[in-house]
Chains A and B, each alone.
Chain A
Amino acid sequence: MQLRYDEDFIETAVFCRAHSPPPSGPPAGASPTNSCRPPALQIARFHREREKCYDLRDPDARHAAFFQVHLDWFREWRLEQPLTEVVEEFVLVRGRLTTLAVRKATGRHDEGAELYVNETGERTGLLALRPERLLHRVTVRDFLRHEFMHLHDMLDPAFGYAPALDLPGLNAAQKRLARERYRLLWDITIDGRLAAAGHTPAATREQHMLAFDRGYSFWPEARRGETLDSLWRCPAPRHTDLLALIADPRGLQDAARPAPGGSCPLCEFPTFHWAVAATLAPAMLRRILAAFPAWQPEQGLCSRCLETYEASAALELAAAQ
């Protein structure tokens, strides 16, 4: 496996190392010595080497020279070490990836690992990382392990990962919600496995419990605890098992009648405010059926949709008068 770096990533990383510690200080748990600056003589040498590159007039040669200087110092200051050491722990990642590319993430939400497979079957892992993370050698390892576990699962045939979530019958909003749930469950299984292996997980079981309670608040407490435990302790989770938990956790798709939180058959948005279709006037039913011929009154409709039809009827009446 080849390890490649984005030019911007290593340049920012070495500058972070050469400058003051980050303003926010080291994160909790990090040893303060990790973010210490290198000796002044090294910083001076780094700048001297950099300065020479400015004399190169050819833009390509200049960029190449800068890249080499930054890469040399990236290694000299052992900023590469956490990456190379942690990836060694993941045999599958090393064995199955052709390239692991590391790029600069612009913020916390941009960080993460992704897998790309080209038409010839070559697999490339792309890791987006904030360079300042490398200043904290303990926490960066925890972060890298978590992200490499994602790559590991994506590459593991036993996990059975598929990039597109196969969730028929869900609308766009529900699919987004399902993706978020998938992310939550996958993170729980990863951190559970990391904790079992004696590593520090990205989030503790208690932190995951809070998020899980929010995501599955419609389940009874006992069921939530039971499911979280099974995910946290699962040594070999599977993609299909996670899908089963996210697709329709309320069991609404099979519900014969409108259920709280179910999707309105007209607008497809989830609703907790159902209109009673049985009490609708025949004219209103005809109006709705004209727009949705396959709709049946037993399926119900949300009060927002009913309001829309009532408003359009009132407008037509007013126009006629």
Chain B
Amino acid sequence: MSNVFNWQLGREMEYPYEAAYPDQQFAFIFNTNRCIGCQTCTMACKSTWTFSKGQEYMWWNNVETKPYGGYPHHWDVKTLDLLEQANPGGQNWGGKPEDVKAPYGQFNGKTIFEAAKSFIGPEGANRALGYLPTDEEWSAPNRYEDHPVGNEKGVKGQYFQGGELLPEHKTWFFYLARICNHCSYPACLAACPRNAIYKRPEDGIVLIDQERCRGYRKCMEACPYKKTYYRGTTRTTEKCIGCFPRVEGRDQAGGGLPMQTRCMASCIGQIRLQGLIELNPDGTWKEARHNPLYYLIHVAKVALPLYPQFGTEPNGYYIPPRWVSRPYLRQMFGPGVDDAIEKYSAPDRELLAVLQLFGKDQRICHRYEIKEGPKVFETEVRGKKFVMYNDTIIGYAKDGTKIIETTVEEPLHVRDAKHANSI
């Protein structure tokens, strides 16, 4: 085991390999407040990468209804439970949020790598704590769709009184879209006995070498997000490849510019934003104040990692749903949830403008700039003043090409009367 620095935990942690970081890291943000669970992303991925024999059960991208849904069933509860068994009562956070090295304070519990040491099998200690899901758990990708949970017992024939009021709904569910997090410390990579899994040095995308893989399924056991899939026809394991040809700029539609993945580009709710992040030698993010991902994660801090306590440093971030029970969200996204929701509920001028970049163009935005516009609206959100300006936000690709220009107020197009009912 080596000691590596995990900035999401605000501390060093044990990992089976020495730290090694790519030049840039593939990362993405999903705004759960906007997701309507339409599964367009799921089908975009399916029809691009997993439509062949043996891949039927593979959903590299899936959207599940939380709290009950999950693919495989209860993947998160099971891993949380294993961690709790390994470190009873000790899985908690402390310390104070600091700079980019500890934005959420410090995690005092055990990661899946640290907890694995206490699970000794016939081949010695495991490299990562996990379990192999059964076929039954892979049997239904959208089980519990739209199933809510309530914190009060219902009365027959009567609606909840005030159930719709924020800050927390009394009955709630939300959609959690998931892909491989292309973690900085991937558990799949750590567990592979064949060294078949690697992180690409150019963009940090995690791939499985199909020539090396011998179907041990250790990656399936170790990945806490359960995002690797065994294919019975080839007897190898497959996973999300981050649409790397697009990220490399090889999709003709991008005109040579790096493009976002298919699932990001197809999202009709415009909940997704994917980019590439430059890293410091210690794996923390190099300051890039006007990179939209850097801004949302490290400056505004509205986007949070999914289950950071697992310790893999996932590169998928989520703007948490603002109507959901806070203890649940703290468990899922860490201690930054309350501040993130507070900020998102009444966004400041810059945040509101940056949120307009989601889903506006398929190409990857590396930098944005804002041109100030007039004030158009003012109100109060739960005692906090909210002012809206019709600013214009402009996004640029890495080479400086302007790829997006949009305003906070979406333009209203009135259709000509003769086309009123045509599409």
Contacts and interface: CB of A to CB of B under 8 A. Distances in A.
Contacts of A132: 134
Contacts of B131: 20, 22-23
Q: Classify chain A's interface size.
A: 20 to 34
A35 to B, nearest CB: 13
A109 B136 CA distance: 10
B122 interface: yes
A15 B217 contact: yes
B47 to A, nearest CB: 24
For B78, B124, B133, B214, the residue with the greatest tally of chain A CB atoms inside 10 Å of its CB is B214
A22 B123 CA distance: 17
Interface in B191-222: 193, 214-217, 221
Contacts, number: 56
A241 B187 CA distance: 59
B135 interface: yes
Nearest to A52: B214
Contacts of B133: 23
Contacts of A54: 214, 235
A39 B122 contact: yes
B60 to A, nearest CB: 20
A107 B136 contact: yes
Interface string B342-380: 000000000000000000000000000000000000000
Contact of B214 (A11, A44, A47, A104): A47
Interface string A45-88: 00100110110000000000010000000000000000000000
Interface string A23-49: 100000000000001111001100100
A37 B215 CA distance: 18
Nearest to A66: B235
B139 interface: yes
Interface in B115-173: 119, 121-124, 131-136, 139
Given A19-B217, A19-B221, A54-B235, A12 B121 contact: no
Contacts of A298: none
Contact of B132 (A19, A38, A104): A19
A152 B344 CA distance: 65
Contact of A106 (B135, B215, B235): B135
A60 B128 CA distance: 35
A43 to B, nearest CB: 7
- Main SS class of interface, A: helix
A20 B139 contact: no
Nearest to B138: A106
B232 interface: yes
A40 B122 contact: yes
Contacts of A223: none
A50 B134 contact: no
Contacts of B221: 19-20
Nearest to B220: A19
Contacts of B123: 40, 43-44
A193 interface: no
A44 B193 CA distance: 11
A106 B214 contact: no
A130 interface: yes
Contact of A50 (B119, B132, B214): B214
A214 interface: no
Contacts of B135: 12, 104, 106-107, 130-131
A38 B121 CA distance: 10
A40 B136 CA distance: 27
Nearest to B214: A51
Contacts of A43: 122-123
Given A40-B121, A107-B135, 10 more contacts: A12-B135, A16-B132, A20-B131, A20-B221, A22-B131, A23-B131, A47-B214, A54-B235, A107-B139, A132-B134
Q: Which 3 A-B pairs have the closest CB atoms?
A: A40-B122, A107-B136, A23-B131
29 contacts: A11-B232, A12-B135, A15-B217, A19-B132, A19-B221, A20-B119, A22-B134, A23-B131, A23-B132, A23-B133, A37-B121, A38-B122, A40-B121, A40-B122, A40-B123, A43-B122, A43-B123, A44-B123, A47-B193, A47-B216, A50-B214, A50-B215, A54-B214, A106-B136, A106-B139, A107-B135, A107-B136, A107-B139, A132-B134
Interface of A: 8, 11-12, 15-16, 19-20, 22-23, 37-40, 43-44, 47, 50-51, 53-54, 66, 104, 106-108, 130-132
